[in-house]
Amino acid sequence: KKEGLNLSDFELLENGQVERCPQGHSPVVRKQKKGRITQGFSLDTCCCCLRLNDCPVKPGKTHYYLRYTMKSARITKRRAYEQTDEFKERYRWRAGVEATMSEYDRRTGVKQLRFRGIKAVRFAAVLKAIGVNIFRATAVRKAACCV
């Protein structure tokens, strides 16, 4: 991450346009062409701003401009959502499932089945899943006996 401010520090609307800068100023000019967005902030407010040196806005003839693409706006909004408690609560379940699926593949080699046909593949995959469960049950039982 670069030093100073970037697009994630600005308040974005649902359509990807900037509502306010980090200092609370709204843009006075908004332009959009082929996925590229240009937001113009007033010269008076930006030139007196304390964070102008850190800000990604560039001076123009009539305004200070913030230029970015729709893709970068979507990425910024997604990264901001990933920092919320709601996302972390929903996503934490995936970590457990990913570990299980990884073990399922590593221990049994389920991705390299030597069978053709849905019935044979399903049968082999189910047997391999049962095998992983037996391994896990044995490990739990062993741990309970040793304690």
Kindly report, residue by residue over 44-82, the tens digit of the pLDDT: 888 888 888 888 889 999 999 999 998 988 898 898 889
Report pLDDT digits (tens) over 81-117: 898 999 998 888 888 888 888 888 988 888 888 889 9
How confident is the model at residue 113, as a pLDDT? 86
> Which DSSP symbol is given to 97?
H
pTM value surpassing 0.75 = no
Provide the domain count of the chain: 2
Whether residue 2 is contained in a domain is answered as no
CB 2 within 8 A of CB 12: no
Among residues 79, 106, 135, the one where a domain terminates is 79
Whether residue 62 is contained in a domain is answered as yes
Contacts of 97 (CB under 8 A, 6+ apart): none
- Tell me if residue 67 falls in helix, strand or coil: strand
- The stretches of 1-147 forming alpha helices (DSSP H) are 43-47, 70-82, 85-108, 118-146
Bridge-based pairing state of the strands 11-12 and 18-20:
antiparallel
How confident is the model at residue 98, as a pLDDT? 86
The domain in which residue 106 lies consists of 85-146
How confident is the model at residue 117, as a pLDDT? 92
CB 94 within 8 A of CB 119: no
- For residue 1, pLDDT over 80 is answered with no
How confident is the model at residue 54, as a pLDDT? 85
Whether residue 1 is contained in a domain is answered as no
Among residues 79, 106, 131, the one where a domain terminates is 79
- For residue 137, pLDDT over 90 is answered with yes
- For residue 138, pLDDT over 90 is answered with yes
Contacts of 45 (CB under 8 A, 6+ apart): 23, 25
- For residue 2, pLDDT over 60 is answered with no
Whether residue 65 is contained in a domain is answered as yes
Residues 75 and 131 in one domain: no
